Structure 1
Amino acid sequence: MKTQLTTDMEEALYYYCLEQGDVVVEEVTMPDDQGIVDTLSCRFLTTGELEWRCYEIKATKADFRSKAKLSFIGHYNYFLLPLALYDAVKEEIPDRIGVMVYRPYDGSFTQDLLSPGMLTIVKNARRQELEVDHGRLTQRFMASQAREVRKAKMVAKGLSLYPSEQLFQELKKREISSLTATDSRFYQKFLADLENQTIADLRTELSLLKVEKELHHKKARRRRTEALE
């Protein structure tokens, strides 16, 4: 599970790449068993070629020194580290790998900011040849983008995607005693809204039944009149 620091760094990197004019997506599975890169960006050059950048996000020493495969297969490859971590591990970083450091904003900014912090390149990456097939990398990149679009559409649809029975079972798991004060207020509001909606639906149904009954009586009276004629 990602820590808040890792999530903030990932978000800052996403907006940084957008500002550079790159197309970017997180968590892309590389071809040829090259692992999963944390963030992959693609830049369209004036020559018509594509330039790929891979970013590995590390928030702690343990994370930096883990045995997880580093997917540095792009033309340019970077570590994204908090400043304190960079100071501690900079001697361990290969010459060809660049480094960006993350500094969170201190809260003194009053304007709305998309990014939670600032990124600075403290070590430039050396350009290298792409280490996987360009076409297959493009396919993985597009597949990851499609995944993110699906996720965004699901979020936009919200709870409407889930059947009522599943939502009911989830609510039953949340005992009132285990809810926080805020959760409890929302839960009580949900129950009140549900009750009000049920009452409104019943009133609507009753009105429709009254209309249907009146129509039935009118048809019955018309049949009796026609029979007498």
Structure 2
Amino acid sequence: MEQRKEITRRLSLLTEKLINPHNDPRIYWAKEVTFDYSSSHAIRVDYMKFKPVNNTVGGIEKGDFYCYEVKSSIEDFRSKNGHNFIGDFNYYIMPEEVYAAVSLEIPYVVGVYCPDGAELHSVKKAKRKDRERPVSEMLLMMFRSAARERRRGD
């Protein structure tokens, strides 16, 4: 059986492929996006994607945020960490056996993707949830996280 770290790595790669399958620079996404980082209740979203309606001011303001939380095991799912669903559409990424074990614990509005070979497939569709944070804060935190990743790559 794969170790949890390897499962997380594989699920993360599949998530990146799902979010941006052709490495398109017009797809706006970031990983490990932290909010409220200077407070005692900081949260980190594993992956976030922003999809504007169009590139006008109104289109950006009306855009949707997608949040993805990677869960490699039942223990990982049941831990208090990583259930930070602050987007318009929110998803877990997990192995099918984990989904089978925890499916009744997943909130109604949260969707689920599971690996199917070299791709992820939807086993539960997310429902729209009104986010509580403004688009400016969401984009700033995504930008901050993406900039951190660029610095690591240099």
TM-score category of the 2 structures, normalised to the smaller one: 0.7 to 0.9
Please state if 1:9 is matched with 2:11.
yes
Percentage identity across paired residues of the two chains: 29
Higher relative contact order (CA 8 A, sep 6+): 2
Instruction: In structure 1, give the amino acid aligned to 2:152.
Output: K
* Partner residue in 2 for 1:82: 95
In the TM superposition, residue 34 of structure 1 has moved relative to its aligned partner by 5.3
* Partner residue in 1 for 2:28: 23
- Select the residue among 14, 30, 38 that pairs with 2:46: 38
Deviation track 1:167-191 (CA, whole Å, cap 9, x = no partner) reads xxxxxxxxxxxxxxxxxxxxxxxxx
Query: Which of the pair is proportionally richer in helix?
Result: 1
* 1:19-168 equivalent positions in 2, closer than 5 A: 19=21, 22-31=27-36, 33=41, 35-46=43-54, 48-49=59-60, 50-103=63-116, 105=117, 117-153=118-154
Instruction: In structure 2, give the amino acid aligned to 1:45.
Output: V
Give the Cα separation in 1 of the matches to 2:90 and 2:42.
Answer: 14
In the TM superposition, residue 81 of structure 1 has moved relative to its aligned partner by 0.7
Give the Cα separation in 1 of the matches to 2:18 and 2:90.
Answer: 15
Instruction: In structure 2, give the amino acid aligned to 1:27.
Output: E
In the TM superposition, residue 69 of structure 1 has moved relative to its aligned partner by 4.9
In the TM superposition, residue 133 of structure 1 has moved relative to its aligned partner by 2.4
Query: Which of the pair is proportionally richer in strand?
Result: 2
Q: TM-score scaled by structure 1?
A: 0.57
| Unpaired segments ≥5 residues, structure 2 | none
Which has the larger Rg? 1
| Unpaired segments ≥5 residues, structure 1 | 106-116, 154-229
Q: TM-score scaled by structure 2?
A: 0.83
Relative to structure 1, is the Cα distance of residues 56 and 69 closer, same or farther in structure 2, using a 3 angstrom cutoff?
A: closer
Figure out how many residues of one structure are paired with residues of the other and give that number: 140
Over aligned residue pairs, what C-alpha RMSD do you find? 1.9
Instruction: In structure 1, give the amino acid aligned to 2:48.
Output: L
